[in-house]
C-alpha cells in the first residue's frame, strides 16, 4: 500500500511512503514485493541525484530477486546499480544460472524426493524433471543426486567460478 502511495504521491510525500513501505513489518512475508519497493525507491533517489543512497537499496533488491529466481528483475536491478555507480558486490551464484523451476526441482531432489514425486508436486512430467536435474548437475558441476544438498548449500559453487577467477 505504501509503495503504491509513493509511486502516485506528490514528490514531497513520496519519500515518506517509500520509507514506510520498507520498514512495515507486514512486508517481510512478501520478499519480492519488498525488493520491488527497494528498487522503486532507489530509482526515485537516482532521479534526485542521490546515487549513493540508491546503491544499498539496489544491491539488496538484486540479491532478493536472485534468491527468488526472478532473474530478469535481478538483471534490471544490477543495471540500475551500475548506473548508480555501483558494481557487482556479490560473486555469481548458481541462482544466476538456473531457472526458477530448475531451482525448485533441485531443492526437492535434495530433500530426497524421487523424480516422480517431484513431477506430481510441481505438475510436470517425470521426463521434464529429469531434464531439469541434468541441467542442474551441469551448472553445479556435480554428477550424483547425493551431492545436491551440499552443492545447494554453497551458493557460489559451479564450473563458471574457475573461468572467472573464483575457486
- Give per-residue pLDDT as tens, 106-153: 999 999 999 999 999 999 999 999 999 998 898 888 899 998 988 887
Looking at residue 11, its pLDDT comes to 76
Q: Is the pLDDT of residue 165 over 60?
A: no
Does an H or E element contain 4, and which?
A: helix 2-8
Looking at residue 162, its pLDDT comes to 41
Q: Is the pLDDT of residue 3 over 90?
A: no
Pair 54, 63: CB distance under 8 Å: no
Give alpha helix (H) positions in 9-145. Answer: 11-23, 31-47, 51-67, 71-83, 100-110, 115-122, 126-140
State pLDDT tens for residues 40-91: 899 898 888 888 888 888 888 898 888 888 888 888 888 888 888 876 555 5
Q: Is the pLDDT of residue 166 over 70?
A: no
Pair 49, 19: CB distance under 8 Å: no
Span 82-104, mean pLDDT?
Answer: 71
Looking at residue 4, its pLDDT comes to 85
Alpha carbon distance 91, 113 (integer Å): 30
Other beta carbons less than 10 A from residue 25's beta carbon: 6
C-alpha cell of residue 116: 516422480
Looking at residue 95, its pLDDT comes to 61
State pLDDT tens for residues 11-24: 778 888 888 888 87
Q: State the chain's maximal CA–CA distance in angstroms.
A: 57
Pair 59, 85: CB distance under 8 Å: no
**Roughly what angle, to the nearest 10 degrees, separates helices 126-140 and 100-110?**
90
The set of residues, in sequence order, having a beta carbon less than 8 Å from that of 154 and lying 6+ positions away, is: none
Domain locations in the chain as residue ranges: 2-83, 94-163
94-163 CATH pick, 2.40.50.140, 2.40.50.100, 3.65.10.10, 1.10.10.10: 1.10.10.10
Amino acid at each position: 500500500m505504501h509503495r503504491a502511495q509513493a509511486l502516485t504521491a506528490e514528490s514531497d510525500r513520496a519519500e515518506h511512503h517509500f520509507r514506510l513501505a520498507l520498514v512495515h513489518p507486514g512486508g517481510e512475508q512478501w520478499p519480492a514485493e519488498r525488493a520491488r519497493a527497494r528498487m522503486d525507491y532507489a530509482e526515485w533517489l537516482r532521479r534526485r541525484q542521490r546515487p549513493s543512497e540508491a546503491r544499498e537499496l539496489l544491491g539488496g533488491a538484486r540479491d532478493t530477486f536472485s534468491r527468488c529466481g526472478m532473474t530478469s528483475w535481478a538483471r534490471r536491478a544490477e543495471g540500475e546499480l551500475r548506473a548508480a555507480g555501483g558494481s557487482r558486490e556479490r560473486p555469481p551464484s548458481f541462482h544466476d544460472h538456473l531457472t526458477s523451476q530448475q531451482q525448485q526441482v533441485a531443492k526437492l531432489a535434495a530433500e530426497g524426493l524421487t523424480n516422480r514425486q517431484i513431477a506430481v508436486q510441481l505438475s510436470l512430467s517425470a521426463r521434464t524433471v529429469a531434464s531439469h536435474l541434468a541441467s542442474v548437475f551441469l551448472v553445479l558441476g556435480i554428477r550424483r543426486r547425493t551431492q545436491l544438498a551440499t552443492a545447494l548449500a554453497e551458493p557460489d559453487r559451479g564450473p563458471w567460478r574457475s573461468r572467472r577467477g573464483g575457486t
